[in-house]
Structure 1
């Protein structure tokens, strides 16, 4: 089993090297922003130096409360909301997936407590979520978007793991008011640095003008994003197909229970009574040039369950052959 940690494409590495050496002096900031905005169906885009900078800029532009899932999202949501002294509301989920009944309960309760004003156009609250709950199950973004907008709120989607969705269900500006993401390693747009924020409402950028300027991505990073966007769909499609294959094989050929087994995602999470032991054993099986692909749960960024996540998203798509995937299943089976 020859597994490799995800890296930028050779084309992207060469393009970034030319900018770094001064051989290419083209300004890639605008080019990359226009290309990104077009891909996600938004009018405006800004590149920043990291995913947390994108979250910070997005949250700073929100005047109302911040709602986040109770699990399966990104812990930076909570940390940055607290840093900005925003009212923070945690929404109960179905193992990371937004449930409209639970969301409605949170909105009603928070409205009664005067944390959310559903009638104030100038003080809108926002739901922050990730395209894939725990990276393992796609959110129903269109359904969530319709509900959020009916309640005079803003939807912010962290699409770090979903840029290039060929089905246009995720990372689609027709549904999400703001799309944010990281282009660090090992994301779908994998430049090992940087992040982005996109929207149709340019006033949101005005509210965070200083942050966007201070945290602006370098031209080397912008060049990398510009080039790596060409490979986003292939990276995403191969990762999703591989995870669906693994979910099916593990479900049918082992005794492990797979969370969200029928949902598109870019990792696979399996239930275990002893996540500490299983995660240790699997780390010995899967060695990726000093990088890892195993996450132990309970973990807010994944699931608050006794489980282990196989981070297929961390693998270079060149090694996602059926032979290697079958070897992953064989390794998991050893520890039933």
Structure 2
């Protein structure tokens, strides 16, 4: 089993190297931003130096409260909301997946307590969530956006794991008001650093103008994003297909229960009574040239369950062969108690 940590494509590495060496003096910011806007179906796009900078810029532009899932999202949502002194509302989920009844309950309760103003157009709150809950289960973005928009609430989608969705259900500006993401390693658009933010509302950029300027991506990163976006759709599809194959095979061939086994995702999360022991054993088996692909749960960024996540998204696309996937299943069977 030959597993390697995800790297930018060779074409992207060569293009970035030319910019770094001074052989290419093209300014790639506007080119990459135009391509991003086209992919997300948004009018405006900006590149930043990290995913957290993108969250900061997006959240700073929100005048009202911030709603986040109770699990399966990103710690940065909470940390940045606290940093900006925003009212923070945690929404109960179905193991990371937004439940519209629970969301409605949170909205009504927050409105009654004057945390959310459902009528003031100048004080809109926003729901921050990731395209894939815990990286393992696709959120129903259309239904979520339809619901919250009726309540005068915005949606900010972290599409780090879903940019270029071939089904056009995620990272779709027709649904989400703001789309943000990281282009660091090992994301779908992987240039080892950087981030982005897109929207149809230019006031988002006006409100965070200083942050966008201070945290602007380098031209090397912009070049990388511009080139790597061409591979996003294929990278995502191959990763999702690999995870769907693994989810089905693990359910059939082992006694492990797989969370959200029928959902699209870019990792696979297994239920286990002893996540500490299993994660340790699997780390010895799955070594990616000094990087890892195992996450122990409970973990807010994944699931608050006794579980272990196999981060298939961390693998280089060339490693997602049938033989390697079958070897992963074979290895899991060795620890199937």
TM range (shorter): over 0.9
Residues 172-211 of structure 1: pairs in structure 2 closer than 5 A: 172-211=172-211
SS at match of 2:184: coil
Give the CA deviation at 1:115: 0.3
Query: Where does residue 166 of structure 1 map in the other structure?
Result: 166
Query: Where does residue 140 of structure 1 map in the other structure?
Result: 140
Give the CA deviation at 1:230: 0.3
Q: Does 1:56 align with 2:56?
A: yes
Query: Where does residue 11 of structure 1 map in the other structure?
Result: 11
Query: Where does residue 157 of structure 1 map in the other structure?
Result: 157
Give the CA deviation at 1:190: 0.2
Give the CA deviation at 1:22: 0.3
CA distance in 1, matches of 2:204, 2:25: 30
Query: Where does residue 315 of structure 2 map in the other structure?
Result: 315
CA distance in 1, matches of 2:313, 2:161: 8
Give the CA deviation at 1:315: 0.2
CA distance in 2, matches of 1:133, 1:275: 20
Query: Where does residue 235 of structure 2 map in the other structure?
Result: 235
CA distance in 2, matches of 1:3, 1:163: 24
SS at match of 2:180: strand
CA distance in 2, matches of 1:76, 1:332: 32
Query: Where does residue 81 of structure 1 map in the other structure?
Result: 81
Give the CA deviation at 1:195: 0.0
CA distance in 2, matches of 1:78, 1:333: 37
CA RMSD of aligned residues (A): 0.3
Q: Does 1:332 align with 2:311?
A: no
SS at match of 2:152: coil
Deviations 1:107-145 (A, max 9, x none): 000001100000000000000000000000000000000
SS at match of 2:309: strand
CA distance in 2, matches of 1:177, 1:215: 21
Deviations 1:163-195 (A, max 9, x none): 111110000000000000000000000000100
CA distance in 2, matches of 1:17, 1:84: 37
Unmatched tracts of structure 1, length 5 or more: none
Q: Does 1:119 align with 2:87?
A: no
CA distance in 2, matches of 1:199, 1:190: 21
Give the CA deviation at 1:306: 0.1
Query: Where does residue 300 of structure 1 map in the other structure?
Result: 300
Unmatched tracts of structure 2, length 5 or more: none
CA distance in 2, matches of 1:294, 1:333: 16
Give the CA deviation at 1:258: 0.3
Query: Where does residue 214 of structure 1 map in the other structure?
Result: 214
Give the CA deviation at 1:43: 0.3
Give the CA deviation at 1:239: 0.2
Deviations 1:59-98 (A, max 9, x none): 0000000000000000000000000000000000000000
CA distance in 2, matches of 1:255, 1:319: 25
CA distance in 2, matches of 1:223, 1:65: 35
Count of paired positions? 336
Give the CA deviation at 1:225: 0.1
SS at match of 2:270: strand
CA distance in 1, matches of 2:155, 2:163: 17
CA distance in 1, matches of 2:333, 2:250: 8
Give the CA deviation at 1:281: 0.2
CA distance in 1, matches of 2:276, 2:334: 16
